[in-house]
Chain A
Amino acid sequence: MSTERTGPDAPVRALPAVALLAGLPLLAAAVLLGLAGVNAALVLGSDRFHPWMVKLWLLSAVVGYPVLRVVLLARRPRPAAAAGPALSREAQPALWARVDAVAAAAGVRGPAELRLVPEPRLAVVERTALLGLLPGRRTLLLGAPLLLGLSAAELDALLARELGRFAGNGVRLGPVVLSGHDAVGQVVAALHLRADRHRAAEAGEIAEENAYRVASGRPARAEDPGRGGVEGVLARLFGAYARLYGRVSARVRERQEYAADRLAAELAGRDTAVAALGRADALAPLHAHYLEQYVGMGLEADLLPLPGQVVGGFAHLLAAPRRAAELDEAVRRLPRRTDEDEDEDEGPGAPPSLHRRLAALLARPDAPARLDPPPPGPAAALLADAERQFTDLEAAVPAPGGARRVDWPELVDGTLRARERGKAQPVLRALTGTGRPGTVEALLDVLDAGRGEEIARLLPRSERAAAATGRAAREFRRPLLREALRSLTMLALYARGAARWEASWSGPAFLVLPGGTAERLPGALDAAVADTPDSAPLRALLAEAAASAATPA
């Protein structure tokens, strides 16, 4: 696509796309009415019941069912959103004031409802009818991570952009084309979902039947679960329609996107709009990292952050200097990306990429913001009683039951301790199973006595290690015993209060050990599992660590 034809200001016509949108329900109605009419005429016009009438009805049903299905699905497509609690005007006057101000300045109908969502996104969804041809109630979905990561002015810019998609922007029916695109996409998604369900059910049946066939000694059936039945056919048919619509509407939609960006720049200021778009984009991977590495880590030990902190804890991460710098760097790099980077993954009819949109914005002169500037500071300050809102939001999202709620330092320390305890289970079982206490000292006694093999034999090990003999067996054993000894040493250090995991919002957690212990530990472990074992260094290290923990300096 060259910029001459598809630039932000190219003249476009929305009519073909709207015709295509309206054409589908019209065509469906025509087909259904036609079928009904033909059937009625034939039945009424014949003197008696003929067997071919059944065939005709069946044929009509085969043709009519899919048409009816699509129309029913397209009538009121449900926006798929895990929405959190609604934020009422009374409870959140500051937030609503910004939303209303932006909607008024943009000249569009504002949302009737405002909901907090856990994902880092901001979107206005409209419950349109008839593939977006009839307007409906608008809901603003406000991602809590964006509230934490954007300033109030940047939030204005994003709001202006999202609401701006519903503004005319000089193209009549432009908003209809855009919401039609959303609606068509939702129908395709719904059909695919149903087709996938059908396929999954089919695959389950085949697997069951094959298990039975194999058990009774017959060859298994081919494991092709088909293409999703009627829904699959519909999904493919309607998918083709959606692609056609996408192509026909591409230029209108592209213009609409650029116009929405422009509106954001006019209302909130160009640089604020650029920063808002860039940061919102860069916050997504950071938030995913936060969920996976921070909230997610505790799950293995059945730990969760304190109520409100699953959502709110993201603020800690954003406050870490390294993360802030990373975020700024990602935002700074965005508009500089070259076209070649992205053109490959842009199909025909795909919305313009973010870096193109940013480049288009930056090409425009900076003008003062039309909106009154909001109070400086993070957007989260607009949210009254944020902690309770975040807690309510978490309650609306399914979470694993039975998890204990702890503060962040305890979550990190507790999880990593639990991980170590898990690793130590085999050696603990081996020690207690042979009538010994499950302590590091007991393992050291075993090693000193040259009986490490008795324990190593009980640890999980590879077939090769188990099959080895003589000195090779000894060498296979050594790393196993060393790792077991390390685990028990760590458990002992935890128990004596001499080791602790320190959470870091800038990177992985790190282990805090009393002075010199970290450097001496590897050598002490090596000595304890050597051919001529020497447990003295490790014993001394344990004793010192216990002493230093007992008398904190």
Chain B
Amino acid sequence: MARLIVIIPLVLLIGFKLATWLMERRTAALKTATEAARANVARIEEATRPTIVPSEHGLVRRAELVVDKGVLTGPEVDAALAAAAAGDWRPAAELFAAAAGDHDRRWGLVERFAESAVEEDAWLKAWRAERPGDADAAVTGVRALIGVAWKVRTSKRAGEVSREQFDVFHKILGDAVEAAAEAVALADPADPLPFSVQLPIARGLSWPRERFRELWVEITDRAPLLWPAHLDALQYWCAKWRGGGGDHAHMHAFADAAIAAAPPGSLLTVLKLEGYWEQFGYDREYAYGAPEVRAAADAVRADLAAADPADRHLTYVRGWLAYMDHRADRPVEAVEQFRALGTAVPDPWASYFDDPVGTFVGHRAGAVLELLELREAEERARAQGAPTAG
């Protein structure tokens, strides 16, 4: 009897262990089988995914596409940048001098040369030392400081930025405020750039709305339609920055007011599209098909038709329009814009997607396939419904 007391639990235990071991082995085999099957399905899907031949639809081939962030380009700019990198600031100064009065182009030059000075600013220091009264050099210096500040901060969410990064970020922006005051003092009183260059500072240092409005008046008094300044200001009014304060109303109010005050062809209508992009991203609710979003896209279309065909921001605006039309399931309009873009892959793909060209090609193909489907459906409807319709 006593032996049984020991043996029975032992047998039970061994049996239980054996059973669980067997079960585990079986499930493991099943798991590997399902994984293999899934991989197969994925491979077949990949191989049979519908695709398009771009040239059949008036689009350029993938290999020809070039990411275009909307910055000012040109052989003369490249040459001057190369010279600056080699320490010679004179070609840059000449470009600025030649652009006098064209604030939009000057702004483009500031952006390009400041970007270079974020890494290495020996040439800019030399420029400033030799021509201490040069406002263009001063403004470029301010923009470069802001660039350094953002490089330290990175464009991550505030929660992912360390205390040290914020300390340095704020310190540099503080220096930038001082440098901007110097640039204002040096510049022609009618020059908007020493003011518009401060727009990112307002965001970074979370200026209160009153102070921001004061800055905005200084800019619009000098250049009411300065296109890049409007895009920068829109960011300040976004929900994620101080001006928006977690709400989209300020941003839309700003965009609406700017568009209402601008003549056709100003291309400021794109503000509204970017506004919706910011809103949807912030709320994580994507209402691209909403009537007001479609209306905003139609306004951009009209604006594009009225714009100067040589406007260097056309591609940028078309990019947003193509994206919005595609997301709103308007393949006819989207494909039209994709065609007009030519070789350019602009924003939102250029700035907001990890693989700009890949995503762009995917969206483009999607739009074309939708268009083909639409045409087929129309064809069928015509074939069947011709008698009734006719």
Contact = CB atoms under 8 A, between A and B. Distances in A.
Interface string A440-481: 000000000000000000000010110011111001101100
Contacts of A465: 164
Nearest to A469: B119
Given A479-B167, A479-B168, A479-B171, A472 B162 contact: no
A472 B171 CA distance: 12
A471 B148 CA distance: 6
Nearest to A531: B125
Nearest to B129: A532
Interface string A283-309: 000000000000000000000000000
Nearest to A461: B164
A468 B168 CA distance: 12
A107 to B, nearest CB: 64
Contacts of B151: 468, 470-472
Contacts of B171: 475, 478-479
B119 A475 contact: no
A475 B162 contact: no
A459 to B, nearest CB: 13
Contacts of A479: 164, 167-168, 171
B292 interface: no
A464 B148 contact: no
A475 B167 contact: no
A475 B152 contact: yes
B270 interface: no
B118 A464 contact: no
A476 B168 contact: yes
B172 interface: yes
B152 A470 contact: no
Contact of A472 (B117, B148, B164, B167): B148
B118 A471 contact: yes
Contact of B119 (A462, A464, A470, A476): A470
Given A470-B119, A470-B120, A479-B171, A462 B164 contact: yes
Contacts of B121: 471
Contacts of B172: 475
Nearest to A463: B162
A468 B152 contact: yes
Interface string A71-110: 0000000000000000000000000000000000000000
Given A468-B152, A475-B152, A462 B162 contact: yes
B343 interface: no
Contacts of A470: 118-120, 148, 151
Nearest to A51: B2
A476 B172 CA distance: 10
Which of A468, A469, A475, A476 counts the most chain B CB atoms within 10 A?
Answer: A475
B220 interface: no
Nearest to B144: A471
Nearest to B164: A462
B118 A476 contact: no
B164 A475 contact: no
Contact of B162 (A464, A468, A471): A464
A475 B148 contact: yes
Nearest to A468: B152
Contacts of A471: 117-121, 144, 148, 151
B152 A472 contact: yes
Interface in A467-524: 468-472, 475-476, 478-479
Given A469-B119, A471-B121, A476-B152, A464 B167 contact: no
A522 B389 CA distance: 85
B144 to A, nearest CB: 8
Nearest to A465: B164
Interface string B289-302: 00000000000000
Interface in B321-366: none
B353 to A, nearest CB: 25
A462 to B, nearest CB: 5
B170 to A, nearest CB: 11
B173 to A, nearest CB: 11
B376 to A, nearest CB: 54
A465 B120 CA distance: 17
A475 B120 contact: no
Most buried by A among B121, B152, B171: B152
A465 B169 CA distance: 12
Interface string B114-153: 0001111100000000000000000000001000110110
Nearest to B167: A479
B120 A464 contact: no
A462 B168 CA distance: 13
Contacts of B168: 475-476, 478-479
Nearest to A462: B164
Contacts of A472: 118, 148, 151-152
Interface string A5-17: 0000000000000
Interface in A173-211: none
B292 to A, nearest CB: 41
A478 B152 CA distance: 13
A157 to B, nearest CB: 51
A471 B144 CA distance: 10
A461 B53 CA distance: 53
Nearest to A474: B148
Contacts of B167: 479
Nearest to B163: A462
A475 B164 CA distance: 11
Contacts of B149: 475
A465 B152 CA distance: 8
Contacts of B119: 469-471
A468 B151 CA distance: 9
Nearest to B121: A471
Contacts of B118: 470-472
B166 to A, nearest CB: 11
A265 to B, nearest CB: 55
Contacts of B162: 462, 464
Interface string A136-176: 00000000000000000000000000000000000000000
B238 to A, nearest CB: 25
A485 to B, nearest CB: 16
Contacts of A468: 151-152
Contacts of A464: 162, 164-165
A453 to B, nearest CB: 14
A478 B174 CA distance: 14
B184 to A, nearest CB: 21
A469 B151 CA distance: 10
A469 B118 CA distance: 10
20 contacts: A462-B164, A464-B162, A464-B164, A468-B151, A470-B119, A470-B120, A470-B148, A471-B144, A471-B151, A472-B118, A472-B148, A472-B151, A472-B152, A475-B148, A475-B171, A475-B172, A478-B168, A479-B164, A479-B167, A479-B168
Given A475-B148, A476-B168, 17 more contacts: A462-B162, A464-B164, A471-B117, A471-B118, A471-B119, A471-B120, A471-B144, A471-B148, A471-B151, A472-B148, A475-B149, A475-B168, A475-B172, A476-B152, A478-B168, A479-B164, A479-B168
Which 9 residue pairs are nearest across A and B when measured between Cβ atoms?
Answer: A470-B119, A472-B151, A471-B148, A472-B152, A475-B168, A462-B164, A472-B148, A475-B172, A475-B152
Interface of A: 462, 464-465, 468-472, 475-476, 478-479
